[in-house]
Amino acid sequence: MSKGRVCLAYSGGLDTSTILVWLISEGYTVVCFLADVGQEEDWAAVEKKALSLGAERMIIDNLQEEFVEKVIHRAIQCNAIYEDRYLLGTSLARPIIAKAQVKAAIENNCDFVSHGCTGKGGRADLLRYAAEKKIPVSSTPKEPWSKDDNLVHCSYEAGILEDPDHTPPKELWTRTVDPLDAPNEPTDFSIHFEAGIPVKVILAGQETTGSVAVFKLLNKIGHDNGVGRIDIVENRFIGLKSRGCYDTPGLTIARLAHLDLEGLVLDGRVRELRDQFVTHSWSRLLYNGLYFSPEREFLDNSILFSSQNTTGVVRLRAYKGHVYVLGRSSNASNLYSEEAASMDSLEGFSPQDTTGFIAIQAIRLKKYGEQRDKDGNSLTQS
């Protein structure tokens, strides 16, 4: 008799195949679950392997649209970034996967959910068990690093990358061509945003719409031009430092374009508050796995509010590893005014006003300077 039903997150790899075998050997009935969040995968092979190892069923759930619309769009809208460089690819996908697995577990009357992560230091035991149970191992030789792949990025870490001074080999990167091998001709294109969301891309006169299609096209542009590679040492939630390499073509482009459009249409002070608090906190809590939390809801509410007028077009150029803004425009906002910005115009502006503005700023600073003089520590000597 079964000890119960388990919904197992199953990828077809060694780790999850091993726990699948182990769970069955322990007397559980196992329903395998695999989320399609845009990773490269031989879906049929995974299903075949799961069933051959004894799974009752293999569920493959296409979550790409939900991933883009529920999480990636929020990331774009707040210019999410962790420690100035990491665009959070893995962290963005995890909550979508986790929720779908729990739903699958409920729908399949499972008593448990399970993952197959080996855990730090457990690899030797894993390999021993897998060999003993004759669990089939991929015939392609294992790369000396580990990967995590989804619509947003591919991450590379561990193995030879644990030496932070070891440059990643050319063949490591899977989602971007080497900038040195990218085309000699730049790719020019434009992204149309509505309320902070990229809704259309125009490339070579062709329009692409639809949340997933737009994001995939940005991935392709980034891929072909080698855009979005980073190599960093980051601070993990648990307090360890860890080295990771990531190639994130489409989100690198979308983030830059959104950031640029905000320059044109978002009030400066709202932006400052959003940057210092919302962007910082949202990025950090996603990184720390706290998506399903009241604070994420609280921040999402601010993100949506601040994005209301982020509507317009950004023209861009991708070329050999980098992406450049060529120009931007918006009919939705009056905040930028060529007339007001012009040095030759006096629209709504009196030169005398700046005298007053500066004089008022100076009230406090003069006192500071006087105190420094009195203390024998004059600012002109500093």
Task: List binders of a second copy among 146-165 (CB under 8 A).
Answer: 146, 158, 162-165
193 or 319: whose CB is closer to a second copy? 319
Among residues 141, 239, 331, 376, the one that binds a second copy under rule CB under 8 A: 239
Using CB under 8 A, count the residues that bind a second copy: 121
Contact 213, 151 (CB under 8 A): no
Q: Which residues contact 11 (CB under 8 A, 6 or more apart)?
A: 34, 41, 46, 116
108 binds a second copy, rule: CB under 8 A = no
Whose CA is closest to 85, among 234, 269, 206? 234
134 or 382: whose CB is closer to a second copy? 382
Site for a second copy in 244-273 (CB under 8 A): 259-260, 263-264, 267-273
Radius of gyration of the chain (CA): 26
134 or 364: whose CB is closer to a second copy? 364
51 or 233: whose CB is closer to a second copy? 233
49 or 211: whose CB is closer to a second copy? 211
382 binds a second copy, rule: CB under 8 A = yes
Q: How far is the CB of 206 from a second copy (least distance, A)?
A: 21
5 or 99: whose CB is closer to a second copy? 99
Alpha-carbon distance of 82 to 283, in angstroms, equals 6
Q: How far is the CB of 160 from a second copy (least distance, A)?
A: 11
Q: Which residues contact 300 (CB under 8 A, 6 or more apart)?
A: 74, 282
Q: How far is the CB of 179 from a second copy (least distance, A)?
A: 6
Among residues 109, 138, 167, 174, the one that binds a second copy under rule CB under 8 A: 167
204 or 343: whose CB is closer to a second copy? 343
154: region left, alpha or beta (phi > 0 left; psi from -120 to 50 alpha): beta
Q: Which stretch binds a second copy (CB under 8 A): 38-46, 48-56, 132-140, 227-235?
A: 227-235
DSSP secondary-structure letter at 282?
H
320: exposed, middle or buried (Cβ count in 10 Å: 0-12, 13-18, 19+): middle
Among residues 44, 106, 131, 213, the one that binds a second copy under rule CB under 8 A: 106
Among residues 141, 170, 338, 376, the one that binds a second copy under rule CB under 8 A: 338
Site for a second copy in 281-300 (CB under 8 A): 281, 284, 290, 292-295, 297-299
Contact 51, 30 (CB under 8 A): no
87: exposed, middle or buried (Cβ count in 10 Å: 0-12, 13-18, 19+): buried
Q: How far is the CB of 156 from a second copy (least distance, A)?
A: 13
322 binds a second copy, rule: CB under 8 A = yes
Q: How far is the CB of 103 from a second copy (least distance, A)?
A: 5
Alpha-carbon distance of 231 to 260, in angstroms, equals 24
Residue with tokens 């994420």: 296
β-bridge pairing 146-149 and 206-209: unpaired
The angle that helices 89-107 and 280-287 make with each other, rounded to 10 degrees, is 60
Contact 182, 278 (CB under 8 A): no
Site for a second copy in 11-70 (CB under 8 A): none
